[in-house]
Amino acid sequence: MQNQNKSLTKGLSILKSIMKSNKPLTANYLCQKHDIDKSTMSRLITTLLCEGFIEYVENSKEIVLSDIMKNISQKESRDKIVEKTEALLDEIFYLTDECSYIGVLDNNAVLYLNQIDKSNRVLKTRDSVGLHAPLHANAFGKILLAFEDVNLKSLDLKKYTVNTITTVTKLQKEIELVQQRGYAIGFEEYEFGLFSIAVPYFNNRREFVGTVGISGLSARVNEEKSHELAKKIFNLVNPVI
């Protein structure tokens, strides 16, 4: 390209490397990766630090994205997830006639990014977009535990109802069952009178993104029907090619 600002281009390339990395990076590593001398790298890193794009890990010279950049990057990513799954949530709703959701892992909890309920019922499921739910007490959380790397011992296995799983041993068995089936079911584990069914959602590169499924009144769905619905949702989300 013509008329590029070389310093800006170098700075952006460094920022991209830091954004793509799953671990802190050092200036020496960035010098080698981008073939930039130490003096120039020092100026570029100082600029990125001063502008609030990056920061040092406490008491070290390891570089990571700043909290501001993490939040911007995370919001953009989540907005894309909502956009890409909206049609799928529509299909799940019309397939089941129950409120459909997309959830992701956020600080050891389920974060609901979107939900769709186009029913004519007088009593509808409350708006949960932006809300968090415990991982151990609903189907969406169980999927996240089955497909994400979460330390079960770090969870607060609080008891919400008589059906809530409250021990690591039982939760581990439940996760193994979810992994075998490919879907998760929750019956009145978080709130009395509510059920949830969820399956994993992967992107086009087969990378795990989050969990999609339904939730509603348990009076409408018995145990047998819940498994039938779970299999239908799984086949819809993960069609056989």
pLDDT of res. 120: 86
| pLDDT tens for each residue of 71-129 | 666 666 888 899 999 999 999 999 999 999 999 998 899 999 999 999 888 766 778 88
Q: What one-letter code names the amino acid at 25?
A: L
Residues 138 and 221 in one domain: yes
Q: What is the CATH number of the domain that holds 24?
A: 1.10.10.10
Instruction: State the Cα–Cα distance between residues 85 and 92, nearest whole angstrom.
Output: 10
Residues 48 and 112 in one domain: no
- Residue 206, domain member (yes or no): yes
The CA angle 8-9-15, to the nearest 5 degrees, is: 90
Residues 114 and 204 in one domain: yes
Residues 154 and 181 in one domain: yes
- The residue among 25, 40, 65 that closes a domain is 65
- The residue among 41, 65, 89 that closes a domain is 65
Residues 61 and 85 in one domain: no
pLDDT band for position 241 (cuts 50, 70, 90): very low
Residues 80 and 192 in one domain: yes
pLDDT of res. 70: 67
C-alpha of 62 from chain center: 26
Residues 149 and 227 in one domain: yes
Residue 1 has pLDDT above 50, yes or no: no
| pLDDT tens for each residue of 132-177 | 999 999 999 999 999 998 999 999 999 999 999 999 999 999 999 9
- Residue 1, domain member (yes or no): no
pLDDT band for position 197 (cuts 50, 70, 90): very high
pLDDT band for position 16 (cuts 50, 70, 90): confident
CA dist 57 → 6, 13, 20, 78 (Å): 28, 20, 17, 25
Residues 24 and 121 in one domain: no
- In the numeric block, which tokens belong to residue 165? 């799983």
User: Which residue has better confidence, 157 or 222?
Assistant: 157
Instruction: State the Cα–Cα distance between residues 24 and 28, nearest whole angstrom.
Output: 12
Q: How many domains does the chain have?
A: 2
Say if CB 188 and CB 180 are below 8 A apart: no
| pLDDT tens for each residue of 26-72 | 999 999 999 999 999 999 999 999 888 888 998 888 998 887 766 66
Residues 25 and 112 in one domain: no
Query: What pTM value is reported for the model?
Result: 0.71
Q: What is the mean pLDDT of residues 215-239?
A: 91
Say if CB 165 and CB 174 are below 8 A apart: yes
- Residue 58, domain member (yes or no): yes
Give the 3-state secondary structure of residue 12.
helix
- Residue-number span of the structural domain to which 93 is assigned: 74-237
**Residues near 61 by beta carbon (within 8 Å), at least 6 away in sequence:** 26, 27
pLDDT of res. 9: 87
Q: What is the CATH number of the domain that holds 125?
A: 3.30.450.40
pLDDT of res. 204: 84
pLDDT of res. 31: 94
Instruction: State the Cα–Cα distance between residues 178 and 106, nearest whole angstrom.
Output: 20
What does DSSP say about strands 99-105 and 208-217: parallel, antiparallel, or unpaired? antiparallel
Instruction: State the Cα–Cα distance between residues 38 and 44, nearest whole angstrom.
Output: 10
- Residue 113, domain member (yes or no): yes
pLDDT of res. 91: 97
Residues 112 and 45 in one domain: no
- The residue among 18, 42, 65 that closes a domain is 65
Instruction: State the Cα–Cα distance between residues 142 and 198, nearest whole angstrom.
Output: 8
